[in-house]
Amino acid sequence: MNCRDTQNLLDGYGDGELDLVRTLDIERHLQECPGCTQIQRNNQELQAALKEPSLYFRAPTHLHKRLRGAARAALPDVPRYRVSLWRGASVAAASACAALLLWVLIALPARPAADDVLAQEVVSGHIRSLMANHLTDVPSSDHHTVKPWFDGKLDFAPPVTDLTKQGFPLVGGRLDYIGSKAVAAVVYQRRQHFINLFIWPSHDSAESSNKMMTRQGYNVIRWTQAGMSFWLVSDVNLSELQQFAEVVQNPS
């Protein structure tokens, strides 16, 4: 046995973990090799020093308790649950209550209002009309052509007025679907910008003033008038869209 093999096994030899053959091999090598003998002697001294009683302390009671608690917490849940079934049940009930409270606090205010859902739908309708190059079913700047086109296609008669004089020429009309209902989309133009005016019968008979929103970079204005809901969508700036809303509300 050479020095390297011997030194690799010295720890096991010192702890009495080697079989008889290897133990005899190492003892034979140690008798002939002062270097390995010195290493073996150092190991023995270190082992003896580590057994010195002054190195050991009894854990204080509070540390003892903390360690036992930590060890218990690290154990799997099942046996503890059996031991303290009722305590477990009450903890579960408290957790469920806390989860419910959290849901009420977080989920309910986050639920979108009807207006938000409709705003999203009219903006989608506006984008769809521009992307699909399907701005109008009846392209005409004449409200005497556009208004009768809706007859028989909808169960209401949307107001269609020509607002060219006011700077918003009529482009045409289109059927669209908002909230899975057929609605009228009357399209106007302001310079290079298109404005979709969505109209459908309102459930609310009360008139409402303008409500402004921005969705996905588009300005939206909605109001209720004469039993109809009106929703304007455009990338035209908000002040011009407000001006348009006033013109639609008071066309003469």
Conformational region of residue 180, where left means phi above 0, alpha means psi within -120 to 50, and beta covers everything else: left
In the window 123-142, what residues touch Zn ion (CB under 5 A)? none
Check residue 36 for interaction with Zn ion (CB under 5 A).
yes
Per-residue DSSP letter, 147: H
**Encoded tokens for 136:** 């109008």
For the chain, the helix, strand and coil percentages under 3-state DSSP, each to the nearest 5: 50, 25, 25
Per-residue DSSP letter, 203: S
Check residue 39 for interaction with Zn ion (CB under 5 A).
no
Q: Which is nearer to Zn ion, 38 or 216 (CB)?
A: 38
Check residue 3 for interaction with Zn ion (CB under 5 A).
yes
Give 88's contacts (C-beta < 8 A, 6+ positions apart): 80, 81
Helix then strand count (H, E) for the chain reads 9, 7
Residues 97 and 103 sit within 8 Å (Cβ to Cβ):
no
Q: How far is the CB of 11 from Zn ion (least distance, A)?
A: 15
Report DSSP letters for 102-134, one per residue: HHHHHHHHHSPPHHHHHHHHHHHHHHHHHHTT-
Check residue 154 for interaction with Zn ion (CB under 5 A).
no
Q: Which is nearer to Zn ion, 36 or 187 (CB)?
A: 36
Q: Which is nearer to Zn ion, 37 or 145 (CB)?
A: 37
d(CA 135, CA 192): 14
Q: How far is the CB of 63 from Zn ion (least distance, A)?
A: 45
Q: How far is the CB of 2 from Zn ion (least distance, A)?
A: 7
Q: Which is nearer to Zn ion, 29 or 174 (CB)?
A: 29
- CA-to-CA separations, 204 to 96, 155, 207, 228, in angstroms, rounded: 40, 17, 8, 8
Q: Which of 33, 182, 212, 228 binds Zn ion (CB under 5 A)?
A: 33
Piece of 34-42, 155-163, 166-174, 227-235 that binds Zn ion (CB under 5 A):
34-42
Q: How far is the CB of 65 from Zn ion (least distance, A)?
A: 50
Q: How far is the CB of 5 from Zn ion (least distance, A)?
A: 9
Rg (CA), the chain: 43
Piece of 30-38, 103-111, 179-187, 216-224 that binds Zn ion (CB under 5 A):
30-38
Q: How far is the CB of 9 from Zn ion (least distance, A)?
A: 11
Q: How far is the CB of 27 from Zn ion (least distance, A)?
A: 12
Q: Which is nearer to Zn ion, 40 or 219 (CB)?
A: 40
Check residue 27 for interaction with Zn ion (CB under 5 A).
no
Binding residues for Zn ion, rule: CB under 5 A, are: 3, 33, 36
